[in-house]
Amino acid sequence: MAALLSYALFSCFSEEVIAATTAVAAGAILAMLTDTMIPEAFEQAHDFAGLITVLGFLAAFVLRGCLKSINIYQNLTPNPFPTREGER
């Protein structure tokens, strides 16, 4: 029922709103996994363990985007699944 209501609600929103909502949900799941699966981190950082992990993933995502925008990333990591000759 919730999936049907969410689909109906989000069908009228823009792609940016959907992307932001998905990003928040992914961050919440990542924070929950950190608190649950990495108890050593939770013992030392308590409430900030999930936030620190999410910020680390966000920094990696932003760095990858920056490197991609200046064409450094493509030279560092070749495409493991090339589809056509010379395509990256």
Residues 18-56: tens digit of each pLDDT = 888 888 888 888 878 877 777 776 677 777 877 887 888
> Is residue 28 situated within a structural domain?
yes
CA gyration radius, the chain? 18
Does residue 88 lie within any of the structural domains? no
pLDDT band at 80 (very low <50, low <70, confident <90, very high): low
Q: What is the pTM of this model?
A: 0.51
pLDDT digits (tens, 9 = 90+) for 55-73: 888 888 888 777 777 666 5
Q: Report if residue 87 sits inside a domain.
A: no
The verdict on residue 35 lying in a domain is yes
Residue 11 lies in a domain: no
As a whole number, mean pLDDT of residues 15-19 equals 87
Q: What are phi and psi of 33, to 5 degrees?
A: -65, -40
- Give the domain extent around 55: 17-76
When divided into structural domains, the chain yields a total of 1
